[in-house]
Amino acid sequence: MGDTANTPPADERGSSLKNLHPQVPMFSSPFQIQKNLSKHRYLLKNMVNRNLNQRYNKALLGYLWTLLEPALLASVYYVLFVIIANYEDKSYPMLILLGVIGWGLFARILNATVSTLVTNAGMIKQAGFPLEIYSASDCKTNLVISSISLLTIIPFMFYLGLQPTSALWMLPVAMFMLYLSAWGIGLMVASANVVFPDVAHAFRFITRAGFFVSPVMWTYELLIERAGADSPYIDIAMLNPVVVPLTMMKHSAQGTIPDFAIQHVIYAAAFPILAFIFGSIIFMATSRGVVKRL
Amino acid sequence: MSILKRMLLKPFGKSKPGPQNCGLSDVSLTVYKGEIIGIIGRNGSGKSTLLRTMAGIYKPDNGWVGIDGQISLLAGVGVGMNKDLTGRENIHLYGSMLGNEREVMDSMTDEIIAFSELEEFIDEPLRTYSSGMKARLGISVATAVKPDILLIDEVLGVGDPGFKKRSQQRIREMMDDSNTVVLVSHSFSLLKEICSRMIMMEKGKMKCIGTPEEVIAAYHEAEG
């Protein structure tokens, strides 16, 4: 027996036996996760397929719902804002739809990752593959759904006479920022949620409230206009990691580049990377240890 | 205590002191290549916990687990399989959960289907299968690829007598191929027939380790 947990005893070191729970150097955790995802990419593909099947298989319209749901939402927004409220900006429903799709991606990945160990407790106790595969499969599933939903923007662009421009590069970049931020934050607290299920409840509230404090139904430009470009409230609002990506998504369809202060761009670019790094470190260090509490 | 008081105090309440519930304690075991080890014990004695610790699902608080080779755990009937996917799709899903690559599963699919004797139903959704059929599919997948180390948790007893016999024969083939098997079972006749060594677990500890006859006798003695 080793003197410390998961360290081979002296007489076993150098043997051909592989330690099932090797100590992963802290900052190697993100790379270890990527290595595990690459090694198990066939499993990941099968799990995404399973998730999509579970969601849509029994529905009569099946996968068409990935298009129908946002399209129906867009119709509701159009009636509300263009016809009833008589907004001058006819692109407003499209901007809201982009915000809803982007926020939906972030919120679904975040909530799924926070609960990943608890939700998959049954399988975790019977299958020995890396635990990050579960949340990664939820991330990819939601990315597939959101990407298909984005197709509903095309008729809007056509109606508004908007041509695709080079600004469309912002769309996949923004989606990636949302994906990585949500996954990273979720990984940070997933183990804590096993011990304190209150964590999942708290995050469900955060995502509900976040819908309103994020530029889903409003725009960054409206915030600047109302608060003033030099207002300290702008810096506070920009601490929300989804402000920049959601705004990028909206501008990508309009063919324009948003006008952010440089410090906000740096923050928005660094946040997903740091969230994933720290999320990976915390998850790799704690997740296997809490499995016995499931 | 009123319901309201209980609700308010719950976040701050102290948990009642209870007996130390240790899944495993002082377990030290070396399993050699080609061995078939049987584990027996009463319910809650730590058999499944030991198996899952060997599979890497549980991380020990003290000590370590070392393996040399690919390990597969067969626990529960159709674990991870999805009832809306067909049997064929579940072969790939379950096979990938056991750590197998696409190429391996593609090459093994026909053999798996033939061994499970589910040719007629293989393209039907899993929800139309009986529990025995699901178990046959699961065992067929788990034993098809012949991992270096196979851990089996009480699923060898499922299926009709013909399939049980063929599953046991497959385990023997694994032994002949110098594969290592650790299995938990309540079937003493099966364990006596195929195991080289057996372990008896009691309250998280290894009570006894030895030949099948010795350990089964110790079990009966403990049971009174």
CATH class of B25-69+148-224: alpha beta
In angstroms, the CA A216 to CA A240 distance is 12
Q: Say whether pLDDT at B10 is over 80.
A: no
Q: Has the ipTM of the complex gone over 0.85?
A: no
In angstroms, the CA B59 to CA A287 distance is 10
Closest CB to B96: pick one of A6, A15, A43: A43
Residue with structure tokens 């849509």?
A56
pLDDT tens for A191-228 read 999 999 999 999 999 999 999 999 998 999 999 999 98
Q: Are B52 and A125 in contact (CB under 8 A)?
A: yes
* B197-202 and B36-41 beta bridge pairing: parallel
Q: Taking Cα atoms as reference points, which of A177, A250, A189 lies closest to residue A216?
A: A250
Q: How many CB atoms lie within 10 A of CB A184?
A: 26
Helix axis angle for A41-56 and A132-149, nearest 10°, is 50
In angstroms, the CA A57 to CA B126 distance is 13
Written as six digits, the tokens of B176 are 């002949």
pLDDT band at A131 (very low <50, low <70, confident <90, very high): very high
Within an 8 Å CB–CB cutoff, is residue A17 touching chain B? Answer: yes
* B71-75 and A18-19 beta bridge pairing: unpaired
Helix (H) or strand (E) holding B210: strand B205-210
Q: Taking Cα atoms as reference points, which of B107, B151, B113, B152 lies closest to residue B133?
A: B113
Q: How far is A201 from chain B (nearest CA, A)?
A: 14
- SS3 at position B74: strand
Q: How far is B160 from chain A (nearest CA, A)?
A: 24
- SS3 at position A252: helix
Interchain CB distance below 8 Å, A47 and B68 = no
- Collect all residues from B whose CB is shorter than 8 A from any CB in A: 23, 28, 52, 55-68, 71, 73, 75-76, 79-80, 82, 84-85, 89, 92-93, 96-102, 105
Q: Determine the average pLDDT of the residues in B194-205.
A: 92
Q: Taking Cα atoms as reference points, which of A2, A132, A147, A120 lies closest to residue A54?
A: A120
Q: Alpha-carbon torsion A288, A294, B1, B2, what sign? A: positive
Rg (CA), chain B: 20
Nearest CA in chain B to A12: B66
pLDDT tens for A184-200 read 999 999 999 999 999 99
pLDDT tens for B58-74 read 988 888 899 888 888 87
Q: Say whether pLDDT at B18 is over 50.
A: no
CA angle A106, A111, A112 (to 5 degrees): 100
pLDDT band at A59 (very low <50, low <70, confident <90, very high): confident
Within an 8 Å CB–CB cutoff, is residue A23 touching chain B? Answer: no
Within an 8 Å CB–CB cutoff, is residue A199 touching chain B? Answer: no
Q: Is this structure's pTM higher than 0.90?
A: no
Q: How far is B203 from chain A (nearest CA, A)?
A: 17
Q: How far is A272 from chain B (nearest CA, A)?
A: 29
pLDDT band at A12 (very low <50, low <70, confident <90, very high): low
Cα dist. A13→A18, A227, A228, B70 in Å? 9, 63, 64, 19
In angstroms, the CA A90 to CA A75 distance is 13
Looking at residue B125, the DSSP 8-state letter turns out to be B
How many percent of chain A have pLDDT more than 70?
Answer: 95
Q: Determine the average pLDDT of the residues in B86-108.
A: 91
Which chain A positions have a beta carbon within 8 Å of B64's beta carbon? 1-2, 5-9, 12, 19-21
Q: Tell me phi and psi for residue A36, to 5 degrees.
A: -65, -40
In angstroms, the CA B163 to CA B25 distance is 37
The ranges assigned to domains in chain B are 25-69+148-224, 78-146
The ranges assigned to domains in chain A are 28-293
Is A37 exposed, middle or buried, given 0-12, 13-18 or 19+ CB atoms closer than 10 A?
middle
Q: Are B71 and B54 in contact (CB under 8 A)?
A: yes
Q: How many CB atoms lie within 10 A of CB B192?
A: 15
